[in-house]
Amino acid sequence: MPTRPLTQNDNFDTISQWLDENLNDEMFISDSNLTDKKDLRNKMKPYAKEKGLYFWFIHPDGYKELSRKKIIKIEPNGNDYSKEINGLKYHLVYLGTAGVRNNENGNHSTLLDRLNWHLFNAQTEKSVISGHMSTLRRTLGSLISDDLIEFDTQIKLTELINNYFSVFFLTYGSETVGDAFEAIQKKVSTDETHLIKNVKPILNLSQNPNEKIPGHVTNTISAKRKKVEIDTKERLAQKISNAELTSKKGNQKKISKSENIIIEDGLGNYNDRLKQKEDGCFVFHVKKNESIYEVVKGIKGLPTGYCKIEIWDFNNPLNNFTSWKRETGKNVNGQNIYNYFSANCTENIPRWKFISFWMSENKIDKIVVLICPKN
């Protein structure tokens, strides 16, 4: 637990002193512990259930590696917080929270979960499309490559992190419900805000005042990440589309009996458009003249129980249908999730119709739907 909470009266100097007092050797994870899940788990064993803040520091040679493509010259701000590690001055370049945000892991996420996420998890095409790739990996990946997946970007990124980064962390408690959790949540979030506002780590894009300054390195990094994310999602969307076209060759179009919905598979279902992804996730397309309710109804093998649903514009992957992005739908008695889309939403109209309205208003010809089981 930190020595004291940070306040609006704190500045760079007082926060630097606060960090000096709290980021001690006990809360340090060296690069040797960042290469293997087992090593990391053993290091974090005494803090397995803890929530809190974590702090990424970069080796001085790491700036050269991040600038190797010569697209952006990554260098210190000139007034950075630093710590001496193994006789060298490392700079704080990124910090984040663990276990206090309302995401798919609920309030049960921990510091260990968050570090695993940055280091070992969500490095696939699916994680790019769904937005589950860690913010830090997306930012760093965009600095060493023009695509988050191609050119072995994720492999190279892991090597970069292992070679040039170390982590400190702070624990705030392990409660997951009630007033005790809300107290932790408030302390962690407040401290994070004051830290980013005053220390301004160059890789923290959200809440960082420097992100709004044209020409500043953080502003340039932000623009580069957005471009790489868009380009990567568009490439992956096109890849899905090309795979569809290949699978459709030789298939005869048919009309379903229930509605005038084109079914483009000789078997009379939507499985030719269905791409089953890892971890039991499914991604498929729905066209502007189709009902998502009917499309989902025709797909076999969808996950049962609580499911995560994400929808975005096929031609503009960053244009998400935010009403249900990262929300959950519940299957009725373990049956197909189409019941969720046929039920009324808060606007007192069927969800499938509300989605159709959204597509029509935004002139969207086709959407991508991702459905994943929620553990």
* Interval 28-86: pLDDT, tens: 998 777 888 899 999 999 999 999 999 999 999 999 888 876 556 787 777 789 999 98
Provide the residue count of the chain.
375
How confident is residue 363, by pLDDT bands cut at 50, 70 and 90?
confident
**Amino acid identity for residue 34 in this structure:** L
The pLDDT of residue 258:
30
Select from 35, 37, 36, 19 the least CA-distant residue to 27: 19
The pLDDT of residue 240:
72
Select from 374, 59, 8, 375 the least CA-distant residue to 191: 8
Cα(264)–Cα(254) distance, rounded to whole angstroms? 7
How confident is residue 347, by pLDDT bands cut at 50, 70 and 90?
low
Q: Is 280 left (phi over 0), alpha (psi -120 to 50) or beta?
A: left
For range 318-342, the mean pLDDT: 60
Select from 124, 134, 121, 116 the least CA-distant residue to 39: 116
Select from 134, 133, 122, 114 the least CA-distant residue to 51: 114
The pLDDT of residue 268:
29
**Helix 12-22 × helix 178-199 angle, to 10°:** 130
The pLDDT of residue 375:
58
The alpha-helical segments, DSSP class H, found in the chain are 12-22, 37-44, 62-66, 111-119, 125-130, 135-144, 153-164, 178-199, 217-248, 292-297, 338-342, 351-361
For range 339-350, the mean pLDDT: 73
Model confidence pLDDT, tens digit, residues 258-314: 322 222 332 223 333 334 444 567 788 888 888 888 888 777 777 767 777 888 888
CA dihedral for 180, 184, 186, 187, sign (positive or negative):
positive
Q: What is the dihedral of CA 208, 214, 217, 223, to 10 degrees?
A: 80
Q: Is the pLDDT of residue 204 over 60?
A: yes
How confident is residue 224, by pLDDT bands cut at 50, 70 and 90?
very high
**DSSP, res 253:** P
Pair 104, 374: CB distance under 8 Å: yes
Q: Is the pLDDT of residue 319 over 70?
A: yes
Q: Is 67 left (phi over 0), alpha (psi -120 to 50) or beta?
A: alpha
- Quote the tokens at residue 264: 């483009």
- Using DSSP's 3-state secondary structure scheme, residue 80 falls into coil
Model confidence pLDDT, tens digit, residues 126-170: 888 877 899 999 999 999 999 999 999 999 999 999 999 999 999
More confident: 211 or 300: 211
Pair 90, 55: CB distance under 8 Å: no
- Using DSSP's 3-state secondary structure scheme, residue 326 falls into coil
The pLDDT of residue 348:
66
Q: Which residue in the block uniquely carries the two structure tokens 């007034």?
A: 79
Among 73-77, 221-225, 313-317, name the most confident range: 221-225
Cα(100)–Cα(228) distance, rounded to whole angstroms? 28
- Quote the tokens at residue 249: 């060759």
The pLDDT of residue 339:
74
How confident is residue 349, by pLDDT bands cut at 50, 70 and 90?
confident
The pLDDT of residue 22:
96
Select from 236, 211, 210 the least CA-distant residue to 223: 211
What are the extents of the domains in the chain?
A: 12-231, 252-373
- Quote the tokens at residue 7: 């306040």
Q: Is the pLDDT of residue 328 over 60?
A: no
Cα(254)–Cα(40) distance, rounded to whole angstroms? 54
Secondary structure element (H or E) that encloses residue 55, with its range: strand 51-58
The pLDDT of residue 322:
61
Model confidence pLDDT, tens digit, residues 75-123: 777 778 999 998 999 999 999 999 987 544 446 789 999 999 999 988 9
The pLDDT of residue 183:
94
